[in-house]
Amino acid sequence: MPWGLLLVGGLVVWWLSSVESGIEATIGSEPARKVANRQPTELELKLLFLPVLFLFLLYHFHLQSNPGVAIANKNKTMKPLYRLNIVPSLPEQLTPLWELGHNLWWTWSKETIRTLYQLDPETWTESQRDPLRFWASLRPDQLDALIADEQLRGRIERVREQFEGYLSDAAWFGQTHGESPLQVAYFSAEFGLTESLRIYSGGLGVLAGDHLKAASDLGVPLVGVGLLYREGYFHQALNADGWQIEQNPENDFYQMPVQPVHARDGEHLTIEVPFAHGLVQARLWQVQVGRVGLYLLDTNLDENAPADRDITARLYGGDAAMRIQQEILLGIGGLRALQAVGVEPTVCHINEGHSAFLALERIRRLMAEHGYSFATAREASIVGNVFTTHTPVAAGNDWFPADLVEAHLGHFREWLGLSHEEFIGLGRVDPRDSHADFCMTVLALRLSGRANGVSRLHGAVSRRIWQGLWPDFSEHEIPIAHVTNGVHLHTWVSLEMAELLDRHLGDAWHFASAHERDWDPVYHIPDRALWDTHQHRRKRLIDVTRHHLRQQMQSYGAPAAKIERALARLDPEVLTIGFARRFATYKRGNLIFRNIERLKALFSDSQQPLQILFAGKAHPRDDAGKELIRQIVHLARQAPFNGRIFFLQDYDMNLARYLVQGCDVWLNNPRRPLEASGTSGMKAAVNGVLNVSVFDGWWDEACDKHAGWTIGRGEDYDDEHYQDEVESNSLYDLLETEVIPLFYQRDADGLPGGWIGRMKETIAQLAPQYNAHRMVREYVEGFYLPGQARFEELAADRERVQRLTHWKSHVRSKWAQVQIGAVDAEFPRLLKVGMQVPLCAAVALGELAPEDVRVEIYAGRLNAQREFAQTEVYPLKLAGHNGDGTYHFVGTFTCAAAGSHGYTLRVVPSHPDLQNPLEMGLVHWARG
């Protein structure tokens, strides 16, 4: 405030005080005592008010003349007039690496990572392995020194040439499938691509990131669709008691490898997403992942109401209402975003149920564009939808109350022309159950042409969970297949291991060859070379662990001396076990502590020492998971575990990388069969880390390779406590008798030959199979291309899809008329393997035609309860009819194997355009 204004204010205050003194003097007189309690007169009030008004007007005039002061006083969190994104001023010689920072190809380019690390290891680490932050952190004198380094300029040029070659070279998809019109859109609520882009929480997101990377390597025409969260997933801190504390710092998108998507006018492209309360604006961002683009939606715009801006605030945050809004944005908004950028997918991959609403948006668009009915648009669109479920427990899927769905999607339901019960029934296991909740997984299964679990065992578990959608069919026939997950090798294999593989395997491993013979040279790697490589990675892990734990303990005020005492026993030469994953109770992070005395005996052996590193986050609302972490922290402080067992807070991709590359053993002991896949063990395996795991997830099929150890025999238990007891004892037995002795059994050269042999076996047998290239190829050839072909066929032939719709409606309406009559078969008293017995069945079809159905023999081995254990299906042929709607079908029952067998007959719908005879859920079985 200017001195003149201060002077005027002071005079006014003096005048007021003078008036006040006069009044006080008057009141002090005898006459005044008579009126001491009277109200001030109007004149007196004016005398007091006018100076105050004068001062206010003078101050207001000052603010008008100085608007900056006015804004500052009105709102201390004022917003700038313009946003300026300022980038580092880099010399021309270094700009290729800056530009490359916006394409996440660098995250799996070993040459790029090595170059950046060697420029300044400390700054690279502090910048969280983010090239954009790295360059912004370097001082001008450092940059000057770098451009003067001729060798560095040569390395930068090599990186640039490698990148350009990567983008231009022919890839697998083009070489194998030519000019296919396939266009895949891969929808996921989270993507784990790099630790500097925090829009992931754990395994689901990292798998999605690996899927994009592998699709890029293979040249698959694919784009990703997700949400750009302002806070992402929480950062984890532990207090002195070991209790998890969540922190949610905001992301700065302009300092992350995301870039705005621009409209034709050059402005940031936004779309409108219809919600029940009105339109919500969503801004589009893009992340480039090699050849693949990832589009992300962001509602944090000034044009939106505060509640709408928060839709993209946190990953998996908020209540059920927030969750359904995020899923509307992802599914419906995500498909509209692709349309806005000119991408028309022929196949949409729904990665977990979060984005299942996209199937409804595809239907709505076909109805609007072609005038289709809901039923016809459904037939035309579902063939182009692929759904992957990741959850092995029904309760773990997204379930919403029917009224919540109606409140948020009632307007959308009206566009589709569906009643409330019809619409909610799409997400109910039994559409007729008016009290059931709406499940996103059920919606995805109903509106997808193909569905799968993420391991062989998980496929079987998923068929059992969702059998209620096909109640009249046996469990093994439920149309949910499996594609076992894989990991992106180039992202997860260490720099040192990559160099070793380059020397001995050449380019074969670069393309993640699925042929084990291409990996046979692993067995010829010299033991010393492989062991020294692994020793280096373990030492690096321990160094990083010390640094991480020092900061962790300092954060809750531990004294320096106590910290150093705690870290002193960490040893880079000691057998190191890693256990890192989401801390849910079913993953049993505390199983190894079940028998403390046996564990103490292992840790008391000074000749064969042991150390364990734990890491992982519990969901913010999972107090049981948090308590599990706290228990481990407390146990780790007791002798003899103190200094040998640690819990590392804030598990992320960076910490995961050090752990899977540097541990000796990767421990995984969930309660079978609750682990859908478990990709962390795959990441460890490609680095030669040995798995110790239960028969669950991917290990249920990988353990046949004999490359690690298995806890238990894969038994199923009803009593969880008894299961924990049995399997903890199995774990102790393995550690005591096999794992620890093998690690410390050294030859004359000081090498653990038996251990190294298992390392080679692990890499050579598991890496060819459990990688993301194999996984994506399976999706392309088994799911994407067949779905795309069917989608193109139906989309191009309006009459064909309408005929299919009408046919399905006709068959459903007449299905009750189908009856299986007499079945004639002459079985000899003694049946021998190889015999063929003719069958003839009379089937009444009512108003259906013979070509509308398929009559089948359903035969197989029986168990002790006379139930089918293994079955085969054999079609019968039409042999004639009686003229009264009864037809005769004939076939042959083949005695394929010895043992107790049985057979029955059934009738299912049949049509050339049915993907699967079970898709309509209709069947008639013969009755005895």
pLDDT tens-digit map of 62-82 = 544 454 444 344 445 566 777
Q: What DSSP designation does 312 have?
A: G
Q: What percent of the chain has pLDDT over 90?
A: 70
| Under 8 Å between Cβ of 480 and 465 | no
**Cα distance between residue 683 and residue 660, in whole Å:** 6
Among candidate residues 701, 720, 702, 724, the one with its CA nearest the CA of residue 712: 724
Find where tokens 């451009």 sit. 147
Write the CA distances from 804 to 429, 817, 912, integer angstroms.
Answer: 24, 20, 9
Averaged pLDDT of the chain: 89
- pLDDT score of 704: 83
Q: Where are the beta strands (DSSP E) in 277-336?
A: 278-289, 292-298
534: tokens are 């692994």
CA atoms within 13 A on the CB side of 322: 15
Distance CA 664, CA 735 (A): 13
State the Cα–Cα distance between residues 625 and 589, nearest whole angstrom: 9
Nearest to 590 by CA among 667, 680, 691, 681: 667
Q: Which residue shows structure tokens 């049981």?
A: 624
**837 neighbors 895 (Cβ within 8 angstroms):** yes
Quick check: helix, strand or coil at residue 186?
Answer: strand
Residue closest to 241 by CA, chosen among 767, 629, 630? 630
Each residue of 328-382: pLDDT tens digit? 999 999 999 999 999 999 999 999 999 999 999 999 999 999 999 999 999 999 9
> How would residue 40 be classed by pLDDT, with cut points 50, 70 and 90?
low
d(CA 820, CA 734): 56
| pLDDT for res 49 | 52
Tell me the two tokens of residue 74: 């009105």
Element (H, E) at 821: strand 819-825
Block residue for tokens 């005044």: 32
Q: Decide if pLDDT at 32 tops 80.
A: no
Question: Would you call 587 helix, strand, or coil by DSSP?
Answer: helix
Cβ atoms of 576 and 665 within 8 Å: the answer is yes
The pLDDT value given to residue 690: 98
Q: What percent of the chain has pLDDT over 70?
A: 91
Whole-number Å distance between alpha carbons of 881 and 889:
9
Q: What is the pLDDT of residues 547-560, one digit of tens each?
A: 999 999 999 999 99
Question: How far, in Å, CA of 395 to CA of 291, rounded?
Answer: 37
pLDDT of 819 > 90? The answer is: yes
Give the model's pLDDT for residue 205. 97
Confidence bin at 740 (pLDDT 50/70/90): very high
**Residue 76 has what pLDDT?**
52
Residue-level pLDDT at 358:
98
Q: Give me the phi and psi of 294, to 5 degrees please.
A: -120, 120
* Residue whose tokens read 């997860």: 492
Q: Mean pLDDT over residues 821-829, rounded?
A: 81
Collapsing DSSP to helix, strand or coil, 297 comes out as strand
Q: What residue has token string 């998890």?
A: 244
Q: Please compute the mean of the pLDDT values over residues 848-860 and round it to a whole number.
A: 92
Q: Is 111 exposed, middle or buried (0-12, 13-18, 19+ CB in 10 A)?
A: middle
Cα(535)–Cα(529) distance, rounded to whole angstroms?
A: 10
